[in-house]
Amino acid sequence: MNIKQHTIKKSITLSGVGLHTGVRANMTFLPAKPNHGIKFQRIDIEGHPTVDADVDNVVDLSRGTTIEQSGARVNTVEHVMAALTGLELDNVLIQLDGPEPPIMDGSSIQFINALKEAGVEEQNALRNFFEVPEGIFYREPGRQVEIAALPLDDYRVTVMVDYNSPVLGSQHASLNKISDFEEEIAHSRTFCFLHELEMLHKQGLIRGGDLNNAIVVVDRVIKDEELQELASLFNKPKVEVRKEGILNNVELRYSNEPARHKLLDLVGDLALVGRPLKAQILAARPGHAANIAFAKKLKKMMNDFSRNNNIPAYNPTLPPVLDINQISKMLPHRYPFQLVDKIFHLDESTVAGVKNVTINEPFFQGHFPGNPVMPGVLQIEAMAQTGGILVLNTVPDPENYWTYFLGIDNCRFRKMVMPGDTLIFKCELLAPIKRGIAKMKGYAYVGNTLVSEAELSASIVRKNS
């Protein structure tokens, strides 16, 4: 799995009709900056409102997943979201001049191909994985639906479907690693049963349905006059039924293509949690309603876990967002006052960094001989330098700016810091930066212990101004 965030290198556009609305739309994927996430934008609506790809924005699950925000609605987002997840893309803006992404061939592969044509670009920010800390379960006993997420240092998905149909029967599909998505899952197309077609048509759905973008499973004996009606419904001169029970001689791409498509839908729906997942997902008879209900449980766990675990997760084996050479280009501090060794998290509102404390620090010669304790004022200075990275990250040319302390409030020292300790600093903005003034809350941890904290104010000033 990718460690750093990714976007696309250039914009690219696809066109086609939506499966359920039948409205033709142009959909353009555009690059986005780190920590932007996935957002849809309805450019056909006044003000061009955006809709975050977030499970909290789901408003309808009629044969697909529909999201809405700020008066803008986007239908059937799951195939696009699955493609973005399969390519491990974190930051993309998707502009639409209609209510629904094009259905294309009913799978995700054409979205995958377009995004690869646009090019994938690594960004200088780490991905914010949610590692499921314990088992989480969802059940619908009446429909025999079960979905579970179990702890795993990877992302794997297994799906079982059983429609009590002589045509489909029981099927399984698995995604053992996300890099297999394009080859193993992305080509699988949406499907429905013949007995559902009339109901969906009467409900005003599948207006963009076509025998080229959906598999129709015939699970009963069908008369010639019904075939004629179906041909009229799909504007075809003739439709037929294969002996395998598939309408109009559509060749299945896999013997278990329906199960693979259910897995595709599940991946797309779970992407609305908003963060890449590390988990083993097991699902029996999933559907959009169950997927979204489960995604909401996952997001609640994610939010609860984040609130209760304010300590930044630091993994020393991962590459830093900024190493010491990059930090030195941004900050003017030098020995013995360069007090931050690496930055391992950086977004628009939060930064996290590391200082390794050793007996070779110059201040230990006098503070205190025989009882080396890191001075509290230097902990705050190191915290402020970490916060300075956050402030300087808001300008395109940080090397041309100075950052200055303006104030320290509510400072507390909780525990002594000794040689051998690794200090983890976290600074987060308390309010948007205005007129070059930043207010931050800073924390310093050793392991899981808070050792110091303070509210910091700083100004950012252009050099030679």
For residue range 262-314, list pLDDT tens digits in order.
Answer: 999 999 999 999 999 999 999 999 999 999 999 999 999 998 887 667 788 89
pLDDT at 341: 97
Q: Do domains 4-186+258-308 and 324-462 have the same CATH topology?
A: no
pLDDT at 197: 67
324-462: which CATH number, 2.60.110.10, 3.40.50.300, 3.10.129.10, 3.40.50.1220?
Answer: 3.10.129.10
Considering 36, 172, 345, 367, which one is annotated as catalytic? 367
Considering 36, 288, 333, 345, which one is annotated as catalytic? 288
Determine the residue type at 173.
A
Question: Domain 4-186+258-308 adopts which CATH fold?
Answer: Ribosomal Protein S5; domain 2 (3.30.230)
Q: Where does residue 464 fall: left (phi above 0), alpha (psi -120 to 50 degrees), or beta otherwise?
A: left
Give the Cα separation of 386 and 426 in Å (integer). Answer: 8
Residue 62's φ and ψ, nearest 5 degrees, are: -75, 90
Give the Cα separation of 241 and 227 in Å (integer). Answer: 9
Domain ranges of the chain: 4-186+258-308, 194-252, 324-462
pLDDT at 429: 95
Give the Cα separation of 240 and 307 in Å (integer). Answer: 57
pTM of the predicted protein model:
0.80
Helix (H, G, I), strand (E, B) or coil at 41: strand
Residue-wise over 131-141: b if at least 16 C-beta within 10 A, else e? bbeeebebeee
Question: What would the two tokens of residue 248 be?
Answer: 């109009």
CB-CB contact of 339 with 333 (8 Å): yes
Helix (H, G, I), strand (E, B) or coil at 122: strand
Per residue of the chain (465 residues), give pLDDT as tens: 999 999 999 999 999 999 878 899 999 999 999 989 999 999 999 999 999 999 999 999 987 999 999 999 999 999 999 999 999 999 999 999 999 999 999 999 999 999 999 999 999 888 989 999 999 999 999 989 999 999 999 999 999 999 777 777 899 999 999 999 999 999 999 987 776 666 665 665 555 455 566 787 876 667 777 777 777 766 677 777 765 577 764 678 998 999 999 999 999 999 999 999 999 999 999 999 999 999 999 999 998 887 667 788 898 998 999 999 999 999 999 999 999 999 999 988 899 999 999 999 999 999 998 999 999 999 999 999 999 999 999 898 998 999 999 999 999 999 999 999 999 999 999 999 998 899 999 999 999 899 999 999 999 999 886
Active site residue 288: yes
| Residue (of 437, 425, 157, 171) closest to 312 by Cα position | 425
Sign of the CA dihedral running 110, 115, 119, 123: negative
Is the bond preceding residue 276 a cis peptide, omega within 30 degrees?
no
Active site residue 333: no
Determine the residue type at 352.
A
Helix (H, G, I), strand (E, B) or coil at 261: helix
123 Cβ contact partners less than 8 Å away, ≥ 6 residues apart: 4, 5, 6, 7, 33, 34, 90, 91
